[in-house]
């Protein structure tokens, strides 16, 4: 329907910025596909989506031994071949590679791309994706709120505390910074030479910073709708990846952005992924797909068990470097069933971490966040995870550290689960030194975050067997294509690596996202204008105003009414209120405050609809004595030149203009002729 | 038995013809028909109808009844056909016009019954059974039944249509053979040599085939083609050539049109034609048609056609070569680089770009190739070397490896992780091991197979196929080169697979090791590798697996490993291995909760005993195995134990080195010594206990062994009975022996009393019941083993399964239903 504006101009109300058409922008602060950190500017809110910490930078550093290691302490310092650069104190040569001898540092999300103090909220999708939180909340002027589920907060806290403990247990007196000098770095041997953004690397935060950062977390439950300033609503949905892991829906009344990060469709311990709510998204930001798309988790689990079993049968020990929460629960469950069937029931498992106890206990109490199968156990009542039974039967023992009770109770052959998977800090360093020399022992890598060859580099030469069974339960490309077919977002935004086959397998076109329209890709420091424009805004009519409307049907099923009202905008909510009636003029003689009275509200002129047909209109003009009319066809309609009267009438689809010089009676007469053809509202 | 049944027949006929009775179930009626068939075959010219007039009455009643049940009518039609199969029977039925009455459906009391498919089927079956003589043929032709049969050829019921086709072929065949036996022309004679009334019948049938083939209605065409293929495969001349001349034109049309729905049936027709003299005559164009079906490999259907032609047994070589070239195209297209000069097959490329058709084409290609390899087919235009490389490459592609030069076909992504193609490809690769030309590809092939064995993503069924392929390649390869591969590459993977999470994989790994060890039996290099690589200890630890099937396979594998160990130069570890194996196996036999491992243990002993090396070493365990196995609650364990006993008996009695060493020179002494040995092993306890077992096969087997023993005992004249005395007290079989003996004694005594005879020469036997010990020959005599064996050979349901019981069932069911009716009132 076209409203015909005829000699009538709509006077727009005072338009709020939000009501104007606007663009949604995404700032990409991390290029790491599984440790994302993006900022979304959407409807006047600034939302950070995850703040993952890239700990792979630690691989450039020497391991932090928990017990004095003669091998590591005697490493030669690095001096350039010509002797010009001497960094003996900062860099050590170990097994043919050069490592930084300092407390390991981590690569932070980009801080320079936008002012992080303007961030209103941070949405966390899972506990692995919040490890950079203290760097963001404590040193940027951040004053907003962090939203996360309870398991995410609690387990995230454990992981942070563990990281801090690992670092603080082995203090390093010096911090190495000279090597970061650009001129020096380019002369260093690889891979140090190729490390990027080294100046943005930071040491680990402190417990105080962790506590302060986590105090800003506001807990949310799945499907809970959280209003942000009345402008947008955010909702966490189960993502099926880990305890409390979430995808997020960020929506206004007419726009919907879905943030999918670290999701899994496999049946493991967490609640299954909620998919249907992701439907009808304008934009879907897709991160956190599996890092090892060629490794099927089931196959890897099988590989893990058979290698473990082979080692134990041969009298060796198994070392599993892992995070203290996550896949370890599934590994323990799998081993719980496997060990008896493999006749290895008497082999002890040790779980060594400063937070081992809390991790095992927390997993048992978050019943509502678990898969249905495990939830139902709670009502029996039974512990949802079988590791409780392993602990009870003394098959699984956990210790905060290798010091203390562990050393007296330690029995071999055994299986040890301990961190950190980078092999640069934590109790795992000790076991590498202890078991590395025997070919009977095996190290089995299950965490996909680190290249196992790089992780092992400072321990070479190594006699122990190495098995790489990365278990990554996150969505693979096949699953994600199926998911996207189901939920059909209009546009997909994803990290750049997802848009091309893995570099090592350029022929695997099945290991990339092939979508129509093609996904928008981003890398670190990209700024993307998301491909949708906001066109509508919801405005509420007050009932009394609604009652006053008089709709008139302009065609079957469509009625139109004019509204005169005052638009009130507050907290991003818009309400149309009736126009206040002018106060009755007091019978006062004084008329001093004329200026303060509300403006006189005139009844609006009626709206017109319809079209002015050319031939009948010419006939009408003729009937009214206007005979000399020259008609000219234009792109939008016609121009009629009344030659005798020297008047132009522009007939267009949605407007008619009468242009005549100072002949008001003629204009009025012509206007009335035009009005005959139009319908008044 | 039959006379008993015949006496019941009138009553049964009455019940069956009684419309108030609900008919017996189909199975009973079929069994009854079977009995009639048996009677008919044993009749020796006697005609059942003459002695059983109730049958005529029954047939007549059923056909005239207004309320006949379709099942009874169908039965009657079949019965009539059966009774009319002899000329006498036919005449008896025909005399009163009964035959026409039965097969003329308009004459039936209820015409609507024809709507029931079982009735139509019974009608056809009746005619088919009847068609054993010329009178029957005359009856069919004379009464215009051919027309009805032809209609039934397109019946909505597939069973009826199929039966109609069979009947038509039978008629045609009968026409030809009657013609031949009547002494007229031989094969190849013209139609005119047939009797005039039969010419019209045969031409009616053949015209119907031609009409069907000219029809636009696909199901009708299909039926026509089916009949044609039956005629070609079952009829002789001149029918075949006459018919072929008429159908050649429509056949050419079908072939050129390339209709997908007809391909399979067309090929069946052409396959049948290949087996006839038509092939040798070029004017019949059999080969030409097949070649036309293949086209240039540019039609969608040609691959299916080629796959079918490759399977044909009697196929002209030229045609087979062409089909082979075509069927290999999908495989070559996917796994070889395109040659610029070679025209790209657009149809094939399009089919390969779609997942479903790509997989199905490749599987057709692979399975045809495997079939060709099984016959060691000699490829001409393409080297077997390159074919084998293609299969290996395809298998690599299935596990995600693909050289970039092969990405011209968009098939790669369909293949990754596709178990179907993997399994099929592995089968084919295994089959290709028969070609000596492939020997130099061995390294590459073993590389592919090893990748599959190592891949964590290999499905359990894929691994099984991989094992089969590995075995085939190992067995056919010269061995010394392989030792390195086996001990350095294969064994570590097997060791890991034996720790697999999936029991199926552990099981197939152990099965593979067993098969490989057995296949390489006598190969000292392999045996040595098996022992020195630590595989044996892994096998021993698998005996404690949590899964029963795996334990069973581990038992078999250990068994083979022990056997193999005795082929190599004596190692210190051999006796240790046997000791460990025996200890664990005996533990399994006595304690394992599942049957499979226990069965495997007994089987392992049997196989050891069959070999000549191990008898001495096993002696100490044998009596335990016999005792444990014989008292097992699993009947199969008991059966295997009896098989072990059989081998033990054979080995001991047939002068095995072990037996000779200890025994004296004379046959008799040796036999006695052997029996004493059996007694020491507890063999007699096993046999006698098994003889009275609750499972019939066990009793049967034990009985057979005892009969054998009894024969030997009887043959040995101077056997010293006193040495072979067995204690019959305190066990079940002993009680049974005593009971039987007493029964015999009492019977004998009563005979004596009746005859007025007192005393007996066998007076000493009267004391038997109070003695504990009886000699073996005596026991065998008391048991009357021959009678026992005869009873045991009858199936356990022989009583309830007899025709008599069937008839009694029918009668009593009728009686009960009558009683029920009374009850209702």
Q: Give the Cα-Cα-Cα angle B456, B460, B465 (nearest 5 degrees).
A: 105
pLDDT confidence band for B184 (50 / 70 / 90): very low
Q: 3-class secondary structure for A485-545?
A: HHHCCCEEEEEHHHHCCCCCCCCCHHHCCCCCCCCEEECCCCEEEEEEECCCCCCEECHHH
Nearest to B121 by CA among B77, B88, B90: B77
B770, pLDDT greater than 60: no
Least confident range of A425-429, A631-635, B212-216, B720-724: B720-724
pLDDT confidence band for A350 (50 / 70 / 90): very high
- The whole-angstrom separation of Cα A406 and Cα A423 is 20
- Does residue B370 fall inside a structural domain? no
B542, pLDDT greater than 60: yes
pLDDT confidence band for B189 (50 / 70 / 90): very low
> Are B500 and A506 in contact (CB < 8 Å)?
no
For residue B729, cis peptide bond before it (omega within 30 degrees of 0): no
pLDDT digits (tens, 9 = 90+) for A522-541: 999 999 998 877 778 888 99
pLDDT digits (tens, 9 = 90+) for A237-266: 999 999 999 999 999 988 999 999 999 999
Nearest to B333 by CA among B372, B371, B298: B298
Helix (H) / strand (E) containing B174: helix B158-181
**Mean per-residue pLDDT, B534-551:** 92
For residue B500, the chain A residue with the least C-alpha distance is A306
> Are A301 and B412 in contact (CB < 8 Å)?
no
pLDDT confidence band for A426 (50 / 70 / 90): very high
pLDDT digits (tens, 9 = 90+) for B314-335: 788 888 898 999 999 899 888 8
Interface test with A, best of B456, B458, B500, B546 (most A CBs within 10 A): B456
Looking at chain A, the whole-number percentage of residues with pLDDT higher than 90 is: 58
Q: Which two tokens stand for residue A372?
A: 């249905």
Q: Say what the pLDDT of residue A291 is.
A: 94
- Does residue B629 fall inside a structural domain? yes
Cβ neighbours of B495 in A, within 8 Å: 310
Most confident of A250-264, B22-36, B115-129, B197-211: A250-264
- The whole-angstrom separation of Cα A251 and Cα A534 is 12
CATH hierarchy code of domain A24-293+474-530: 3.60.15.10
**β partners of residue A5:** A655
A518, pLDDT greater than 90: yes
Number of domains in chain B: 1
Measured between CB atoms, which of A306, A334, A506 is closest to B499?
A: A306
Phi-psi region of B52 (alpha: psi -120 to 50; beta: other; left: phi over 0): beta
Q: Which residues of chain B from 455 to 474 reach within 8 Å of chain A, CB to CB?
A: 455-458
Q: Say what the pLDDT of residue B643 is.
A: 96
- Distance (Å) from the alpha carbon of A34 to chain B's nearest alpha carbon: 24
Query: Phi and psi for A270 in degrees, rounded to 5?
Result: -75, 170
- The whole-angstrom separation of Cα B242 and Cα B203 is 9
**Mean per-residue pLDDT, A65-85:** 87
Nearest to A155 by CA among A123, A122, A135, A131: A131
- Does residue B528 fall inside a structural domain? no
pLDDT digits (tens, 9 = 90+) for A663-673: 888 888 898 88
Whole-prediction pTM: 0.79
| HSE-up of residue A659 (Cα within 13 Å, Cβ side) | 10
Q: Say what the pLDDT of residue B820 is.
A: 54
Mean pLDDT for chain B overall: 82
For residue B492, the chain A residue with the least C-alpha distance is A310
How many angstroms separate the Cα of B747 from the Cα of each of B45, B739, B740, B741, B757?
45, 12, 11, 10, 13
pLDDT confidence band for A454 (50 / 70 / 90): very high
pLDDT confidence band for B665 (50 / 70 / 90): low
Which residues, in sequence order, are CB contacts of A161 under 8 Å at separation 6+?
A207, A210, A354, A355
Domain boundaries along the sequence of chain A = 24-293+474-530, 297-468, 540-573+604-680
Interface test with B, best of A292, A295, A297, A303 (most B CBs within 10 A): A303
Cβ neighbours of A507 in B, within 8 Å: 402-404, 407, 412
Q: Which two tokens stand for residue A565?
A: 């009202």
> Are A302 and B500 in contact (CB < 8 Å)?
yes
The residue whose two tokens read 């189960």 is A238
The residue whose two tokens read 């007694």 is B679
Helix (H) / strand (E) containing A283: strand A283-287
- The whole-angstrom separation of Cα B532 and Cα B539 is 13
> Are A307 and B545 in contact (CB < 8 Å)?
no
- Flag whether residue B356 sits within 8 Å of chain A, measured between CB atoms: no
Q: Say what the pLDDT of residue B574 is.
A: 65
CATH value of A297-468 in 3.30.365.10, 3.30.750.210, 1.10.10.10, 3.40.50.10890:
3.40.50.10890
C-alpha R_g of chain A = 35
Mean pLDDT for chain A overall: 88
For residue A341, the chain B residue with the least C-alpha distance is B546
Domain containing B634: what range? 612-794
- The whole-angstrom separation of Cα B213 and Cα B217 is 9
Q: Say what the pLDDT of residue B663 is.
A: 43
Is residue B701 within 8 Å of B785, Cβ to Cβ? no
- Distance (Å) from the alpha carbon of B565 to chain A's nearest alpha carbon: 23
Question: Higher pLDDT residue, B633 or B235?
Answer: B633
- Does residue B307 fall inside a structural domain? no
* DSSP SS3 for B593: coil
Q: Say what the pLDDT of residue B341 is.
A: 45
For helices B548-565 and B572-591, the axis angle rounded to 10 degrees is 150
**Mean per-residue pLDDT, B284-288:** 82
> Are A302 and B501 in contact (CB < 8 Å)?
yes
Question: Higher pLDDT residue, A212 or B257?
Answer: A212
- Does residue B97 fall inside a structural domain? no
Cite the beta strand spans of A367-414 per DSSP E.
396-399
Q: Is the ipTM of this complex over 0.90?
A: no
Q: Say what the pLDDT of residue B45 is.
A: 57
pLDDT confidence band for B755 (50 / 70 / 90): low
Cβ neighbours of B404 in A, within 8 Å: 506-507
pLDDT digits (tens, 9 = 90+) for A183-237: 889 888 888 989 988 988 999 999 999 999 999 999 999 999 999 998 899 999 9
- Flag whether residue B129 sits within 8 Å of chain A, measured between CB atoms: no
- The whole-angstrom separation of Cα A579 and Cα A568 is 11
B338 C-beta neighbours (distance < 10 Å), count: 16
pLDDT confidence band for A21 (50 / 70 / 90): very low
Question: Higher pLDDT residue, B768 or B16?
Answer: B16
Cβ neighbours of B455 in A, within 8 Å: 299
Helix (H) / strand (E) containing A320: strand A318-321
How many angstroms separate the Cα of B145 from the Cα of each of B82, B138, B148?
18, 10, 5
Cβ neighbours of B456 in A, within 8 Å: 295-296, 299-300, 302-303, 469
> Are B495 and A310 in contact (CB < 8 Å)?
yes
- The whole-angstrom separation of Cα B503 and Cα B499 is 9
A16, pLDDT greater than 70: no
pLDDT confidence band for B340 (50 / 70 / 90): low
> Are A306 and B497 in contact (CB < 8 Å)?
yes
For residue B458, the chain A residue with the least C-alpha distance is A299
- The whole-angstrom separation of Cα B121 and Cα B146 is 15
Query: Phi and psi for A399 in degrees, rounded to 5?
Result: -140, 150
pLDDT digits (tens, 9 = 90+) for B424-480: 999 999 999 999 888 889 889 999 999 999 999 999 999 999 999 999 999 887 767
The residue whose two tokens read 């966040």 is A369
Is residue A418 within 8 Å of A352, Cβ to Cβ? yes
- The whole-angstrom separation of Cα B500 and Cα B535 is 15
- Distance (Å) from the alpha carbon of B151 to chain A's nearest alpha carbon: 52
**Mean per-residue pLDDT, B798-804:** 68
- Flag whether residue B495 sits within 8 Å of chain A, measured between CB atoms: yes
DSSP 8-class letter at A582: P
The residue whose two tokens read 């335990």 is B624
How many angstroms separate the Cα of A563 from the Cα of each of A20, A232, A266, B711?
20, 27, 54, 118
> Are A307 and B496 in contact (CB < 8 Å)?
yes
- Flag whether residue B405 sits within 8 Å of chain A, measured between CB atoms: no
Is residue B341 within 8 Å of B303, Cβ to Cβ? no
Interface test with B, best of A309, A440, A445 (most B CBs within 10 A): A309
A313 C-beta neighbours (distance < 10 Å), count: 20
Q: Say what the pLDDT of residue B761 is.
A: 45
Q: A540-541 and A573-578: which strand pairing?
A: parallel
- Does residue B681 fall inside a structural domain? yes
Which residues, in sequence order, are CB contacts of B738 under 8 Å at separation 6+?
B728, B768, B769
- Does residue B283 fall inside a structural domain? no
Measured between CB atoms, which of A306, A342, A506 is closest to B496?
A: A306
Q: Say what the pLDDT of residue B392 is.
A: 95
Q: Say what the pLDDT of residue B762 is.
A: 46
Q: Say what the pLDDT of residue B11 is.
A: 80
How many angstroms separate the Cα of A247 from the Cα of each of A130, A151, A237, A528, B145?
14, 14, 5, 21, 76
A607, pLDDT greater than 80: no
> Are A295 and B413 in contact (CB < 8 Å)?
no
Q: Which two tokens stand for residue B665?
A: 């020179």
Q: Say what the pLDDT of residue B145 is.
A: 85
């Amino acid at each position: 329907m076209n409203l015909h504006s005829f000699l009538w101009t709509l006077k727009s109300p005072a338009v709020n910025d939000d009501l104007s058409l606007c663009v949604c922008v995404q700032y990409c602060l991390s290029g790491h596909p599984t440790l994302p950190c993006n900022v979304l500017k959407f409807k006047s809110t600034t939302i950070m989506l995850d703040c993952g910490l890239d700990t792979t930078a630690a691989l450039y550093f020497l391991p932090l031994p928990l017990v004095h290691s003669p091998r590591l302490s005697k490493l030669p310092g690095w001096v350039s071949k010509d002797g010009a650069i001497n960094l003996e104190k900062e860099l050590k040569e170990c097994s043919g590679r050069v490592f930084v001898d300092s407390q390991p540092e981590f690569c932070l999300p980009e801080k320079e791309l936008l002012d992080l103090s303007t961030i209103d909220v941070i949405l966390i999708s899972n506990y692995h994706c919040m490890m950079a939180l203290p760097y963001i909340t404590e040193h940027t002027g951040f004053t907003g709120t962090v939203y996360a589920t309870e398991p995410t907060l609690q387990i995230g806290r454990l992981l942070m505390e563990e990281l801090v403990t690992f670092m603080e247990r082995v203090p390093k007196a010096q911090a190495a910074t000279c090597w970061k000098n650009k001129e020096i770095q380019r002369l260093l041997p690889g891979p140090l030479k190729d490390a990027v953004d080294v100046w943005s690397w930071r040491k680990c935060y402190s417990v105080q910073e962790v506590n302060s950062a986590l105090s800003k977390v506001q807990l949310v439950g799945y499907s809970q709708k959280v209003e942000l300033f009345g402008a947008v609503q955010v909702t966490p949905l189960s993502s099926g990846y880990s305890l409390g892991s979430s995808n997020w829906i960020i929506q206004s009344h007419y726009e919907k952005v879905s943030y999918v990060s670290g999701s899994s469709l496999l049946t493991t311990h967490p609640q299954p992924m909620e998919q249907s709510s992701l439907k009808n998204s304008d934009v879907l930001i897709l991160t956190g797909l599996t890092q090892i798309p060629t490794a099927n988790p089931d196959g890897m689990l099988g590989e893990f068990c058979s290698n473990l079993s082979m080692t134990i049968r041969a009298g060796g020990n198994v070392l599993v470097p892992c995070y203290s929460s996550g896949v370890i629960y599934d590994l323990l469950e799998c081993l719980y069933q496997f060990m008896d069937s493999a006749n290895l029931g008497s082999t002890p498992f040790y779980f060594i971490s400063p937070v081992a106890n809390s991790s095992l206990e927390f997993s048992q109490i978050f019943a509502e966040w678990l898969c249905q199968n495990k939830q139902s156990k709670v009502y029996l009542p039974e512990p949802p995870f079988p590791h409780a039974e392993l602990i009870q039967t003394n098959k699984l023992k956990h210790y905060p550290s290798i010091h203390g009770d562990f050393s007296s109770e330690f029995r071999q052959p055994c299986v040890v689960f301990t961190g950190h998977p980078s092999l640069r800090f934590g109790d795992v360093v000790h076991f590498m030194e202890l078991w590395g020399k025997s070919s009977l022992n095996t190290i089995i890598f299950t965490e996909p975050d680190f290249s196992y060859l790089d992780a092992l580099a400072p321990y070479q030469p190594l006699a122990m067997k190495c098995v790489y069974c990365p278990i990554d339960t996150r969505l693979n490309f096949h699953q994600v294509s199926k998911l996207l077919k189901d939920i059909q977002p209009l546009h997909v935004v994803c990290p750049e690596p997802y848009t091309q086959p893995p570099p090592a397998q350029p022929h695997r076109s099945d290991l990339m996202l092939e979508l129509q329209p093609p996904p928008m890709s981003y890398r670190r420091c990209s700024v993307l204008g998301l491909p949708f424009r906001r066109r509508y805004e919801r405005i509420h009519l007050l009932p009394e105003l609604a009652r006053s409307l008089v709709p008139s049907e302009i065609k079957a099923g469509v009625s139109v009414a004019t509204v005169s009202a005052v638009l009130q905008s507050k907290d991003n909510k818009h309400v149309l209120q009736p126009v206040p009636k002018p106060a009755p003029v007091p019978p006062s003689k004084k008329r001093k405050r004329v200026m303060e009275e509300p403006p006189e509200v005139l009844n609006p002129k009626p709206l017109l609809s319809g079209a002015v047909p050319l031939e009948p209109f010419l006939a009408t003009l003729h009937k009214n004595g206007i005979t000399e009319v020259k008609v000219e066809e234009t792109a939008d309609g016609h121009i009629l030149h009344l030659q005798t009267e020297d008047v132009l009438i522009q007939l267009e689809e949605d407007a008619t203009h009468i242009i005549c010089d100072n002949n008001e009676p003629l204009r009025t007469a012509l206007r009335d002729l035009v009005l005959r053809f139009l319908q008044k509202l | 038995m039959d006379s008993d049944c015949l006496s019941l027949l009138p009553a049964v006929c009455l019940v069956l013809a009684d419309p108030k009775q609900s008919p017996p179930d189909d199975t009973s009626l079929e069994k009854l028909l079977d009995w009639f068939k048996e009677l008919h075959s044993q009749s020796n010219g006697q005609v059942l109808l003459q002695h059983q007039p109730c049958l005529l009455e029954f047939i007549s009643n059923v056909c005239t009844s207004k309320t006949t049940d379709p099942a009874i009518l169908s039965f009657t039609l079949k019965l009539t056909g059966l009774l009319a199969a002899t000329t006498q029977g036919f005449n008896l039925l025909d005399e009163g016009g009964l035959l026409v009455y039965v097969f003329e459906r308009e004459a039936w009391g209820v015409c609507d019954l024809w709507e029931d498919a079982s009735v139509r089927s019974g009608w056809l079956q009746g005619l088919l059974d009847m068609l054993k003589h010329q009178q029957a043929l005359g009856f069919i032709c004379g009464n215009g039944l051919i027309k009805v049969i032809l209609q039934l050829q397109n019946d909505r019921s597939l069973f009826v249509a199929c039966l109609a086709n069979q009947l038509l072929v039978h008629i045609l065949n009968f026409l030809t053979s009657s013609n031949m036996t009547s002494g007229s022309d031989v094969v190849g004679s013209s139609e005119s040599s047939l009797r005039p009334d039969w010419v019209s019948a045969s031409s009616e049938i053949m015209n119907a085939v031609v009409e069907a083939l000219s029809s636009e209605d696909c199901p009708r065409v299909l039926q026509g083609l089916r009949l044609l293929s039956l005629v070609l495969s079952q009829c002789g001349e001149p029918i075949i050539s006459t018919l072929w001349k008429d159908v050649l034109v429509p056949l050419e049309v079908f072939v050129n049109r390339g209709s997908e729905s007809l391909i399979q049936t067309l090929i069946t027709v052409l396959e049948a034609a290949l087996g006839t003299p038509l092939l040798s005559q070029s004017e019949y164009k059999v080969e030409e048609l097949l070649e036309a079906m293949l086209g240039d490999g540019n039609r969608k259907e040609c691959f299916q056609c080629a796959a079918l032609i490759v399977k044909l047994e009697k196929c002209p070589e030229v045609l087979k070569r062409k089909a082979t070239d075509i069927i290999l195209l999908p495989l070559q297209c996917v796994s070889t680089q395109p040659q610029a000069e070679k025209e790209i097959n657009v149809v094939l490329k399009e089919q390969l770009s779609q997942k479903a058709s790509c997989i199905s084409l490749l599987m057709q290609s692979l399975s045809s190739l495997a079939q060709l390899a099984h016959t060691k087919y000699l490829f001409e235009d393409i080297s077997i070397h390159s074919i084998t490389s293609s299969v290996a490459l395809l298998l690599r592609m299935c596990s995600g490896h693909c050289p970039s030069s092969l990405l011209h076909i968009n098939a790669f992504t369909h293949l990754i992780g596709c178990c179907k193609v993997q399994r099929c490809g592995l089968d084919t690769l295994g089959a290709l091991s028969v070609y000596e030309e492939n020997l130099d590809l061995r390294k590459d092939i073993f590389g592919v197979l090893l990748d599959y064995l190592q891949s964590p993503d290999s499905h359990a069924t894929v691994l099984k196929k991989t094992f089969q392929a590995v075995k085939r390649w190992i067995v056919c390869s010269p061995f010394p080169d392989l030792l390195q591969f086996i001990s350095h590459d294969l064994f570590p993977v097997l060791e890991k697979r034996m720790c697999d999470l999936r029991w199926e994989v552990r099981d197939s790994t152990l099965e593979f090791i067993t098969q490989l060890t057995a296949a390489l039996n006598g190969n000292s290099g392999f045996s040595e590798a098996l022992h020195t690589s630590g595989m044996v200890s892994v096998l021993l630890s698998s005996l404690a697996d949590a899964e029963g099937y795996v334990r069973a396979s581990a038992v078999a594998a250990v068994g083979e490993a022990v056997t193999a160990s005795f082929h190599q130069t004596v190692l210190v570890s051999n006796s240790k291995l046997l000791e460990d194996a025996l200890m664990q196996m005996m533990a399994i036999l006595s304690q394992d909760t599942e049957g499979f491992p226990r069965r495997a243990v007994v089987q392992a002993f049997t196989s050891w005993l069959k070999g000549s090396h191990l008898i001495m070493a096993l002696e100490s365990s044998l009596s335990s195995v016999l005792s444990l196995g014989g008292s097992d609650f699993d009947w199969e364990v008991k059966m295997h134990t009896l098989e072990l006993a059989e081998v033990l008996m054979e080995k001991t009695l047939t002068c095995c080195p072990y037996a000779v060493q200890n025994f004296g020179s004379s046959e008799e002494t040796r036999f006695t010594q052997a029996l004493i040995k059996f007694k020491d092993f507890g063999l007699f306890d096993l046999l006698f206990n098994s003889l009275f077992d609750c499972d019939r096969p066990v009793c049967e087997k034990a009985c057979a062994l005892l009969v054998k023993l009894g024969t030997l005992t009887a043959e040995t004249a101077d056997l010293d009975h006193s040495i072979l005395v067995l204690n019959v007290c305190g066990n079940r079989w002993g009680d049974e022996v005593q009971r039987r003996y007493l029964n015999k004694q009492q019977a004998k005594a009563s005979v004596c009393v009746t005859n007025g005879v007192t005393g007996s020469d066998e007076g000493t036997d009267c004391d038997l019941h109070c003695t504990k010990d009886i000699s073996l020959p005596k026991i065998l005599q008391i048991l009357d083993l021959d009678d026992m064996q005869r009873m045991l050979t009858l199936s356990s349901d022989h009583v309830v399964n007899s025709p008599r019981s069937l008839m009694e069932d029918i009668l009593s069911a009728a009686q009960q239903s009558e009683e029920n009716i009374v009850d209702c009132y």
